[in-house]
Amino acid sequence: MTEGIQIEGLAKTYRAPGGPVAAVRGIDFSVGPGESVALLGPNGAGKSTTIDMLLGLTQPDAGSVTVFGNSPRHAVDAGLVGGMLQTGALIRDLTVRELILVAASLYPDPLDVDEVIALTGLGQAASQRTQKLSGGQTQRVRFAIALVANPALLVLDEPTVAMDVEGRRDFWMTMREYAARGKTVLFATHYLEEADANADRVVMMAHGKIVADGPTTEIKARIGRRTIRTTLADADRAELSRLDGVSSAERHGDSVILRCADSDRAIRALLEAYPAARDIEITGAALEDAFLELTREPDRAEVPESLGAAR
Amino acid sequence: MNGILYTRYELIRALRNRRFFFFSLGFPLVLYFVIAGPQSSDHNFAGSGISAALFYMAGLVSFGTMSSMISTGARIAGERQAGWTRQLRITPLSTRAYFRAKVMTAYAMAGLTIASLYVAGAILGVSLALGNWLEMTGLILLGLLPFAALGIALGHLLTVDSIGPAMGGLTALLALVGGTWFPVTHGFLHDVGQCLPSYWLAQAGHIGTGGAVWGLTGWLVMAAWTVGLSALAGYAYWRDTGRV
């Protein structure tokens, strides 16, 4: 129980009509017991395949997964794992309460059904048939099914898809309360704010590989650390990008954006070389920038112009 | 843990499904009264040695119970499409408990079909010794084993879209060749029918006509189909879920 999750050299290739697709290409990471970890990445990064292998739903081609020191299958059979899969509807012809009751009955040490109904905000819908629910309510029920298991490891694959703003807020609050009971939580998301706000640590995936693994603050520090914006006529982009402390530069007319490895050195170099620079603004990088920087295609070395425009 | 509550709610779900009441209960009942009603005074139906009322009761029991058993497949296909099968696979529910719930639910539904047609049969004048009622029921319940396996196999092999036509066509064909609609006593249909479980299922109604109802052939055919279709169901489940 003290080992958490260990993933080593994990790989999976799917057969597809257009040829084999390497969904996961040799990844290593671990999740400590009681830790909340976000698996962050764009669609197609391999997050769901990783989670499927972690849950024993898919057999890896190579590498290994252990959950609390054993195989995923063993952990699932022991009732240690609760999960909310990426896709999934509910079976029909049962009420919400009945369905959660059935889920609870499958586990050795479930939470109280009514407590879970209250926690997931399903009090109003408890006696409704599952086929009559809205998309947001369905997600809440799916969360309730994962939660009622009272699992030592809670796995959530893009859980807030189809939830409205209020639903999301409630969801994460409940998830954090559950994590605070000392439970291990792993969730996949492509929303940076969700990872930032709800995880102790972020594992970033792109193209089937892990591109970053660390606390959100560390990831922010690693990439695009600070950005300097200024208004500057007649400056050459290539020259700007060669300034001390600057890692890349963009120009849109007279406005210049400098991504800096060291913004202290960069601002001194900028003012020395271009005393006419005005409207200077230095901002900390949003996680969004770190994300784009880390997950872009390896062969696109240049930062695309659209990156700046997207801000 | 042992899936008792799971089985109970499986049954509740099946009972809340209106299609079941129409296809597996209502439809055979209506057909029974329509077909057997006008002929209920025929006590040696087409030389079969049993009354028309009993012949059609047994025939429609076999039709209705086959539908009940195979409709497990429709529920499974629906659960697969909804992603519920995958959800179950990340719970401690064992494969055995899963199969048990499916088979018990199917048998409970078949039991309702049998009971309702027995009552209808009694209304149309079917009268048997208690021992014969019991033997017939026992044979029918045994004869449904291959269909229980078939339902599970179809549910894990087919999709929600294809399972409806597959089930309807298969049941109709099996019932036709099995002698649900008219006695099949000789010729090609008879030869084929004798190799099929639906023939022997309907044959369970030929009770009290002397001799063993199934005979060695019947028992062998039933055993072979049960083993074969159970293996198919196991394979279909394994292929679908990667689990043993």
A125: containing domain: 5-214
A182/A251 same-domain check = no
> Does B93 sit within 8 Å of A106, measured CB to CB?
yes
B198: containing domain: 4-241
CB-CB neighbours of B212 under 10 Å: 9
- Give residue A305's pLDDT: 40
pLDDT in tens, A96-115: 999 999 999 999 999 999 99
Chain A residues closer than 8 Å to B6 by CB? 102, 105-106
A139/A245 same-domain check = no
User: What CATH number is given to the structural domain containing A291?
Assistant: 3.30.70
Residues of A with CB under 8 A from a CB of B: 55-59, 76-79, 81-83, 85, 87-94, 98, 101-103, 105-108, 145, 149
Query: Torsion-angle region of residue B226: left (phi > 0), alpha (psi -120 to 50) or beta?
Result: alpha
> Does B92 sit within 8 Å of A78, measured CB to CB?
yes
Split into its structural domains, chain B has a count of 1
A68/A190 same-domain check = yes
A58/A191 same-domain check = yes
> Does A89 sit within 8 Å of B82, measured CB to CB?
yes
B9 pLDDT band, cuts 50/70/90, is: very high
Q: How many CB pairs under 8 A join A and B?
A: 80
Average pLDDT of chain A?
A: 86
Average pLDDT of chain B?
A: 85
Which of B3, B82, B242 shows the shortest C-beta gap to A91? B82
A112/A261 same-domain check = no
pLDDT in tens, B196-222: 888 888 888 777 665 567 878 889 989
A249/A194 same-domain check = no
User: What CATH number is given to the structural domain containing A208?
Assistant: 3.40.50.300
pLDDT of residue A133 exceeding 70, the answer is yes
Split into its structural domains, chain A has a count of 2
A183/A104 same-domain check = yes
A100/A147 same-domain check = yes
Show which of A184, A214, A244 is a domain's final residue: A214
Q: Is B155 on the interface with A (CB under 8 A)?
A: no
